[in-house]
Chains A and B, each alone.
Chain A
Amino acid sequence: MQLAVNILVLASIYALIACGYVLVYRVSRVLNLAHGELMMLGAYALFATASSFPGHPFAAVAAAALLALAVGGLVYWLLMRRMTGEAVLAAVLATIGLGILLRGAMVLAWGPQERHPLQALGMSNASFAIGDARISSVGLLLFTATASVYLGLYAFLRYTAWGVRMRAAGQNPLLAAQRGIRLHAVYALAWGLSTFTAGLAGMLIASESALDQTMVVIGLKAFPAALVGGLDSLAGALVGALIVGAAEVLSIHYIDPLLAEVVPFLVLLAMLIVRPWGLFGAREELDRV
């Protein structure tokens, strides 16, 4: 039972991160390798707003999430917009460069020591019993946040005008542009949403454990979840996160804790060998890259 709860919490972490990869990839075919750093930035934003809104945790979280949304849009506007028309590799490398830049800048701004945003908010992470298993309140929050983000994204992509534009831009940018869709605005929105979810994930992970450099690794480990499900499928990211989370928790429990660092990548390799386009991904993508 405890195992199932652990899997569920880890899978919701991975799913929350993976949807950011999927959003950007689906719309602009760019793999954002700065995702982990953007997560960290979100967590630091919460840490910063926590001190400016003392006693109002919700105001602090909302302010930090809005900041993340704005940062994502800015990243597109200042950097990724210039990479359109370049080779896919160049765009990916630009995100790598951005990641390193952010990592350095965050240490300069906030120092290398561990931070605890939850304490800065004046809250504690109590745990509940469910049957014979225990779950922390942040873990529960993670699960609900992931569920609501996915529901929200589904409704957004399915029913709103901007969501439809986003899907159109992902399917065929040329036709979408000719139909009068402003591609730059759509891409910027996708980056904003992706960073928003990343920031949310960063804040929650930082509240669950602590805020330090290892968050970048967590961000990278969530990427296999996105790919296993199919890089352009949100539903796939959920399934992929469950698979990767389960594989990781089970191998920690039954085989070797050190293995936790590589299990997601082993799953990734296995998937690339068997079905590179993922469980729910569109097959033609592979030749377009």
Chain B
Amino acid sequence: MPHASGYFRTRYERDLALLDTRVQKTASALLALALLAFPWIDSPFLLDLANQVLLASIGALALMLLTGIAGQVSLGHAGLLAAGAFTSGILFKEFGAPFWVTLPASALAGAMLGVVFGLPSLRLRGLYLAVSTLALHFIVVYAGNEYEARRGFSTGVVIDPPRLGEWALTDARAWYFVLLAFAAAALLFSLNLLRSNTGRAWRAIPGREAAAAALGVHVSAYKVLAFVISSTMTAIAGSLFAYYRGFVSAEAFSLFLTIQYVAMVIIGGLGSLLGAVLGAIFVTLFPYAIEWSMAVLPVPAQWSTHIFAVNYAAFGLVMILFLVFEPQGLVGIWRRIQNYFLLWPFRREPLSGRQ
């Protein structure tokens, strides 16, 4: 976080603090208030959008920890979401298990799958690792499909909403608070993790593994740990997704979902938690923005009958544009705006480097 001139940290507590300046504290408090007040807007559609964004941001944070921070490329994210969703779905369908059993069970399944997904990373790097996670994605989704076919749920598994005694979680506003709590927990957890030994070890690995090992980082252990933590968070998000939709189907976890999550991380900006959240917002809202602009703009009739195709094309185009012109992602744009005001009336940062 860049600061204007004249700002010095004088105590260790301030250096460790999550929020250290008054502006940051006020801004965060205002944001929290706005988020808490949001569900009272009178629009079920916007509320559903917000819930989708919150769900996506949990998964995006998990992928950011793995890919953006620890540098381990994964193309199996949808497989992990599917694993979480199917664990909850199967436990509910077969044993009638309540959510306080299925949610931890999903997390556990995610952790175990994380080990499986992570083991190839001990031998493989970069492209080969990405391919191995891609293969695992297909296998997990196949297992889900197989379950559906064997048990005769050919269209998918229907799940009842979570219950506490008499009260059932069905209201969109209640869901908003539950998802907000989970997303906030995921964000705080990730933030704290990055300030700890684990986070520093992860950041050291992508730079150069040999150098990280020389500094005393147990490279293979931390790689697998990155996979385990990321998959656990993802599986929890998958379980929440299943309950929120009330429905699990292998069709929902296509390769395109993986690509969407990877796009969130890329478009948001690799290596930044803020980027994960921004990316989640961008990618989730993108199809709705396309739909809206197609209703407003004059487009060929062929286009409006195949909105999904317009979506695909536009999404691919945006991904390419970001990769080519703004590899730093939305966070890069945000930092440039910040720097513009911080440095004013000057245009460039001093050559001696950042504070």
Interface residues, chain A, with chain B CB atoms under 8 Å away: 31, 79, 82-83, 86, 88-90, 92-94, 96-105, 107-108, 111-112, 220, 223-224, 227, 258-259, 261-262, 265-266, 268-269, 272-273, 276, 286-287, 289
Contact = CB atoms under 8 A, between A and B. Distances in A.
A102 B315 CA distance: 11
A287 B209 CA distance: 11
Given A96-B262, A286-B125, A108 B327 contact: no
A265 B138 contact: yes
A108 B139 contact: no
Contacts of B120: 269, 272-273
B38 interface: no
B142 A262 contact: yes
B127 A92 contact: yes
Given A101-B313, A261-B138, A261-B142, A96 B130 contact: no
B184 interface: no
B146 interface: yes
A92 B309 contact: no
A101 B124 CA distance: 29
B309 A108 contact: yes
A262 B132 CA distance: 13
B131 A227 contact: yes
15 contacts: A86-B327, A88-B126, A92-B130, A93-B266, A96-B319, A97-B317, A105-B313, A258-B142, A265-B139, A269-B132, A269-B136, A272-B123, A273-B123, A276-B124, A289-B126
Interface of B: 73, 120, 123-128, 130-132, 134-136, 138-139, 142, 145-146, 149, 255-256, 259, 262-263, 266, 302-303, 306, 308-317, 319-320, 323-324, 327
A82, A90, A100, A258, most chain B CB atoms within 10 A: A100
Given A98-B320, A272-B120, A108 B310 contact: yes
A100 B316 contact: yes
Nearest to B123: A276
Interface of A is mostly: helix
B124 A272 contact: yes
A265 B135 contact: yes
Contacts of B256: 100
A90 B270 CA distance: 11
Given A287-B125, A289-B126, A104 B323 contact: no
A108 B313 contact: yes
B156 to A, nearest CB: 16
Given A93-B319, A101-B320, A107 B306 contact: yes
A259 B175 CA distance: 38
A101 B123 CA distance: 33
A258 B149 contact: yes
A111 B303 CA distance: 10
A82, A97, A107, A276, most chain B CB atoms within 10 A: A97
A262 B138 contact: yes
Contacts of B302: 108, 111
B77 to A, nearest CB: 13
B127 A97 contact: no
A266 B312 contact: no
Nearest to B315: A100
Contacts of A93: 262, 266, 319, 323
B294 to A, nearest CB: 12
Contacts of A104: 308-316
B126 A99 contact: no
Nearest to B256: A100
Given A100-B316, A104-B313, A262-B142, A272 B128 contact: yes
Nearest to A223: B131
Contacts of A88: 126-127
A98 B316 contact: yes
A289 B125 contact: yes
B306 A112 contact: yes
Contacts of A79: 320, 324
Contacts of B315: 97, 100-101, 104
The 5 lowest CB-CB distance pairs between A and B, nearest first, are A101-B316, A104-B313, A104-B312, A100-B316, A97-B319
Contacts of B139: 262, 265-266, 269
B301 to A, nearest CB: 11
A97 B320 contact: yes
A86 B124 CA distance: 20
Given A89-B130, A289-B128, 17 more contacts: A31-B127, A31-B131, A82-B324, A88-B127, A96-B319, A98-B316, A99-B316, A100-B315, A104-B313, A111-B306, A112-B309, A227-B131, A258-B142, A261-B142, A262-B142, A265-B134, A276-B124
Contacts of A112: 306, 309
Nearest to A267: B135
Contacts of B323: 83, 86, 90, 93-94, 97
Given A94-B323, A100-B315, A108 B124 contact: no
B202 to A, nearest CB: 17
B44 to A, nearest CB: 29
Contacts of B134: 265
